[in-house]
Structure 1
Amino acid sequence: MDTGNSPTTQLLTLLNVSAAKSTKRKRALGEQSPPSKLNKRRPVFAGVQDVHSSRTSSEEDELPTVKEAETDKGVESDQASEIGDVDVGADAEDETQDPYEQHFGINSSTINSTAKEAVDSKSWTTAVSTKRKLGSVAVSVPSGSSSPSSLANGSASISERLKEPFQELQAKLKPDQRDFQNDLLSIVSTYEDLYHTHQSLDAARVTREAIALHALNHVTKKRRRVLKNNERISHATKAGNPAPENIQDQGFTRPSVLIVLPFRSCALNWFDALTEHTPSPSYQIENRARFRREFGLPEGVVDKLAVAEPGTYPRDHVETFKGNVDDNFRVGIKLTRKSVKLFSNFYGSDIILASPLGLRMSIEKENNADFLSSIEILVVDQMDALTMQNWEHFVMSHLNQLPKESHDTDFSRVKPWYLDGNAPYLRQSILFSAYETPEMRSLYNQTLKNVAGKVRTIRTWAPVQVPADLEQNFISFDCSSLKDEPDKRFNYFTTQVLPAVMKSAVQSENTAIFIPSSFDFIRIQNYFKRQGYSYTVLSEYSSNQDISRARQALFNGKKSFLLISERFHFYRRYKIRGIRNLIFYGPPDHPQFYTELLSFPFLDEGVETSDVTCRVLYSRYDWFKMERIAGTKGASQLIKQNSM
């Protein structure tokens, strides 16, 4: 049987390549080394000294007193004198009680065969509890998991060097905001996954601050362990003794935190959140001017959203699209003892900020995703905005895979659970969205494998507010298979809904048809074209001239139908006059889109609610969307009627 492409064969190949590049002793695959009992650890800021085998001369200048002892990996090899230069203080608790050591230590107490089997078989025990400011949460734990629950633990383990700036930030917050941050930290600090399904605009900033602190805290502890071990190696070398045999403190590559974002403006916000936790004023941020230049607006450009009169655009649109909204970016951040270095090489970075498209471009360019092989914390922010981009650009399938190349890895220092292929079972995923979609829930249910468990927030929705006395006609169609749902919806719309509309002289004019899916939008557009209907379109690909013509054509009665894609409304948010009849081919993902479109007829003077019609086509698979429009209780009744 050919096993040339098996993970074991690939790993052996990497080991052989790495051994050929170095005279250092390599840990043989399967060799067991007894764990060392290190001294109690002292907190230090993330990024303490970094030595990379391929670093430039300018990077060497930051270590004037250190003679580099190279490792094959290009990770840190600092002398003991560097450790002594670090002002650290003392830890209050033994390192064995530190959640980082319990979860990501050399002998992780979190992972075991029973928990792995439970995760693989989707055997989770779920209980609903209340987490103060986060509200109701569903906590899922695999059978055999020995990880302490955040609901019982309740407090975050933060390094002393990071506590002071964070406490200064919290002192400026309202009590509710502080409690919210503390609730977030109490969950993520135990390295459980977190899926926050109803992130509000008001909580966005304090959320970033808390999660940025957690990311920095994680890198702090990881790098501190490496420095401790570098010190041991240095002492052994100076004493003429063999290098310690039990030092395993690294992954295959250096980056350990990945933050996925939709736009450059979001990356700028996260960068500000990260640097708010750095000690000042001595801390240096290298390439800050370049970063702000490339991720902010060009000099002299005025942001029309920022200067628009209040109420011109909805608040969520302003918060999402103000600033630089380019969606193709990726930047590495390297943390050292006294600086944050932006635009560092991915393999020399600790944190990566990127968009899904930016990551895809990097992967295609390099023909591998090795820089994602050792990600230990994944943060995905504004997932609701990411759904409006191409979801297939997302890179979950590339995380924690065996690298294709060795990248000068010293395998004697790679943690055993990396070598065993268990990294996906320990990676922490932190997901934020303003609402849920089936794709998001599927990602949560099917892709996240963290044996420490996962927490999902639960929200009960109230019906959206619509103009008083406006009749909403919710029309269900029968569908028992998700695979057949697009065809069933199209057939019902073209054979039942549209013919009824065409029979009415009033409803077949001034009619807007809102279509959530881009694929359905093209399908309906082609159908209207074949049938010879009088229509015009507004899509995400419409130019400003196209938009102006389409709006005028509907308002002046030159066209009877206006087809609107959800992506168009998401990106443009135009107010459209001349609408009297609204047909929702499917409920919108964004609930505010529903209320906004229903308000458009009343932009014209003299329009009464009796002049406006509203039809919403839905199936049982539109549960999430219907819940946000009709409310949790109302949607349950509608879906139940549909299933009868």
Structure 2
Amino acid sequence: MLHKMITNYEDVFYCRRTPENESVRLLYCSHALNHSLLCRALVSKNNEKEKQFGVSDSLRDQGFHRARTLILVPTREAARRIVHTFFQLMPKGSTVSHRRRFERDFGLQPGDTDKEKKTGRKPKDYEEWFSGNSNDNFRIGLAFSKKSVKLYSAFRDSDLILASPLGIKAIIDDEEEKQADVQYIIASIELLIIDQAEMLLMQNWATVQHIVSLLNQRPTVPVFASAARIRLCYLAGYGKRYRQTLLFSAVSTFLITLLSGECENFQGMNYIPPLSHYTDLYPTFLPDWVRIPGLKIPNRTGQKRQHSDIESVNEDKSTNYNFKLHLISFVVPGQISLKSSYGKLVNKDQSDSEDEMEVPPLKITDSLSSKELLKLDSSTNSLLLSRKSLTPTDYTYLSGLNVSMARLNAFKQRILPRLRRGTDPRVLIYVPDLYDLEELRQVLLSESLDFCCINEYTEDSEAERFRTLFGDGRIRILLITERYYFFRRRKIRGPQTFIFYGPPTFPWFVKELYDFRHSEDEIQYNMTILYCHPIETHIVAMITGSIEF
């Protein structure tokens, strides 16, 4: 199915990328290589026709520049694996130019040997992300022919550009001196491939969005090929509609789905959502003994547990883990949410009070102005229209600032009183964003609470000291950022209360943090997830199973 979508040149957002699913790389590499070779063969054939019969509209077979494929990956190791996949796909006996230089630049560096010895201590996804050369600043051009691959080709002579977002951003920032180089990369892209998008989210997703927004724009400097050979769609400014976008990720977030706004492929788009680790009636990333209060499980023996957690209830040796799961939703002030399809709207203010108001029936055929609200009810997946006129300020109610402020207010009202009373022991607060961490730090400081913070910029020695203090019980509250846990993946000892300030980007992090506890006593465990309705509801549903919207 996936192969058919790709070869049909449809856009694909594939959110089931896993370390075990290496065939995905082989699939898009073969597609990119086939596209490049077919295009080169067509250009060569039309060159002969032009020499014999002269210029004709039937010979329009090019964009503004030669580069037709752009592949964005996060690290040099990921780029090295892609290039080696191209080597495997080429016919036997093919020549490779500058291969020794490539292995020197993209292979293991002298300081990376010790890191490779630690392979096996981290989860498989971490090893895939950070094994090998994890440098994230690179760009390289590749030129293909029937039996040769040229590495480090000039951008104007390249069929494929393999780069990191940071590598392209360096050229964009230096646009005055290298404006032509930028055009060689972005002007005529027919195939855009973004692999390991989940890691790009942790680097700088804004750079990816900026690069994609610049693709297929008409050049401002006349350094392109003959206008007689350029396709009319590029001359008319419709290059985006003929560009295929392939995105491969292990997670699905609203930032990834927002990228679909830059995809205008007339062939259409396919979205393949992620799969949960526990595929029961309601798929979830948490086992049943976490979601079902009082369910008994066997004592931990070091063996990996299978998906059928309920079967372990009948075993002799069992432990009753008293686990409570709390889901706290909040809405943004001024948000309008549709409660049902029976003509009622709910206007939720900051205090979560509900004021129902009747809405007259609206026919689908009625013409709507640009200021009328169109909302998708996620619980029924049906389009509901309402004649609610919005002011310009209503359009920004889901902006990052408003959501952040509403999240902080919900934390103060629903969670902070528990921290003041001190009834929750060993509190681990997982914060998705560094700016939210700073806001929480100020709030906890004003309450004179005993806590410490670890973020991605904390020195390893200081982070180790904080984790030791928390594990020994000398610090009651520990705050960590998502990017710290992503880049370090260090075990946190001793937490009994888990507070997720927002749904984690990686749902399986919830189970990892819970499994890192080191206690066999029958004690109370609590987990609280704070989320914004409705934009984060589907993420929470992926973690905990189906919930009421």
**What is the match of residue 627 of structure 1?**
541
**What is the match of residue 159 of structure 1?**
none
TM-score, normalization: structure 1? Answer: 0.65
Q: Is the 8 A contact 1:303 1:322 kept in 2?
A: no
Note if 1:598 corresponds to 2:514: yes
Alpha-carbon offset, residue 500 of structure 1: 1.8
**What is the match of residue 425 of structure 1?**
241
**One-letter amino acid matched to 2:138:** F
**What is the match of residue 280 of structure 2?**
none
Please point out which of 476, 486, 499 is paired with 2:417: 499
**What is the match of residue 95 of structure 2?**
284
Q: What SS does structure 2 have at the residue aligned with 1:302?
A: helix
Determine the C-alpha separation between the residues in 1 that align with 2:330 and 2:200: 29
Alpha-carbon offset, residue 229 of structure 1: 1.7
**What is the match of residue 175 of structure 2?**
366
Determine the C-alpha separation between the residues in 2 that align with 1:474 and 1:244: 65
Provide structure 2 residue ranges, at least 5 long, that are not aligned to the other structure. 277-282, 291-296, 298-320, 336-396
Alpha-carbon offset, residue 526 of structure 1: 2.9
1:308-387 paired onto structure 2 within 5 Å: 308=118, 310=120, 312-367=121-176, 368=179, 369-371=182-184, 372-387=186-201
Alpha-carbon offset, residue 354 of structure 1: 1.0
Note if 1:267 corresponds to 2:267: no
Distance 1:607 1:542, change over 3 A: farther
Determine the C-alpha separation between the residues in 1 that align with 2:498 and 2:162: 41
**What is the match of residue 438 of structure 1?**
254
Note if 1:472 corresponds to 2:282: no
**What is the match of residue 569 of structure 1?**
485
Alpha-carbon offset, residue 606 of structure 1: 4.2
Alpha-carbon offset, residue 496 of structure 1: 2.5
Q: CA RMSD in A?
A: 2.0
**What is the match of residue 16 of structure 2?**
198
Q: Is the 8 A contact 2:451 2:479 kept in 1?
A: yes
1:213-228 paired onto structure 2 within 5 Å: 213-228=30-45
Distance 1:401 1:596, change over 3 A: same
**One-letter amino acid matched to 1:223:** R
CA-to-aligned-CA distance 1:476-509 (integer Å, 9 cap, x gap): 22443423322111011023211122213x41x5
Note if 1:455 corresponds to 2:270: yes
Please point out which of 448, 451, 456 is paired with 1:535: 451
Q: Of the two structures, which has the highest relative contact order with CA contacts closer than 8 Å and spacing of 6 or more?
A: 1
**One-letter amino acid matched to 1:392:** A
Determine the C-alpha separation between the residues in 2 that align with 1:404 and 1:213: 33
Alpha-carbon offset, residue 359 of structure 1: 1.1
Distance 1:245 1:442, change over 3 A: closer
Determine the C-alpha separation between the residues in 2 that align with 1:326 and 1:300: 12
Alpha-carbon offset, residue 230 of structure 1: 1.6
User: Quick check: 428-437 or 472-481, which moved more?
Assistant: 472-481
Determine the C-alpha separation between the residues in 2 that align with 1:315 and 1:245: 52
**One-letter amino acid matched to 2:19:** L
Determine the C-alpha separation between the residues in 1 that align with 2:426 and 2:505: 24
Q: Is the 8 A contact 2:452 2:479 kept in 1?
A: yes
**What is the match of residue 393 of structure 1?**
207
1:32-431 paired onto structure 2 within 5 Å: 183-203=1-21, 205-235=22-52, 246-281=58-93, 283-299=94-110, 301-302=112-113, 304=115, 306-308=116-118, 310=120, 312-367=121-176, 368=179, 369-371=182-184, 372-394=186-208, 395-431=211-247
Alpha-carbon offset, residue 431 of structure 1: 0.9
Q: Is the 8 A contact 1:510 1:581 kept in 2?
A: yes
CA-to-aligned-CA distance 1:438-494 (integer Å, 9 cap, x gap): 1111222x2210011111224564122355542212222244342332211101102
Determine the C-alpha separation between the residues in 1 that align with 2:100 and 2:538: 43
Q: What SS does structure 1 have at the residue aligned with 2:516?
A: helix
Alpha-carbon offset, residue 560 of structure 1: 2.4
Q: What SS does structure 2 have at the residue aligned with 1:551?
A: helix
Determine the C-alpha separation between the residues in 1 that align with 2:286 and 2:272: 24
Distance 1:622 1:303, change over 3 A: farther
**One-letter amino acid matched to 1:363:** I
Give percent identity, aligned residues only: 32
Give the number of equivalent residue pairs. Answer: 438
Determine the C-alpha separation between the residues in 2 that align with 1:447 and 1:301: 37
**One-letter amino acid matched to 1:454:** M
Determine the C-alpha separation between the residues in 1 that align with 2:38 and 2:15: 29
Determine the C-alpha separation between the residues in 2 that align with 1:388 and 1:300: 23
Determine the C-alpha separation between the residues in 1 that align with 2:48 and 2:448: 78
Determine the C-alpha separation between the residues in 2 that align with 1:358 and 1:539: 25
- Going by fraction, where is strand more abundant, 1 or 2? 2
Please point out which of 512, 522, 544 is paired with 2:438: 522
Distance 1:600 1:543, change over 3 A: same
Distance 1:553 1:300, change over 3 A: closer
**One-letter amino acid matched to 1:193:** D
Please point out which of 536, 558, 566 is paired with 2:474: 558
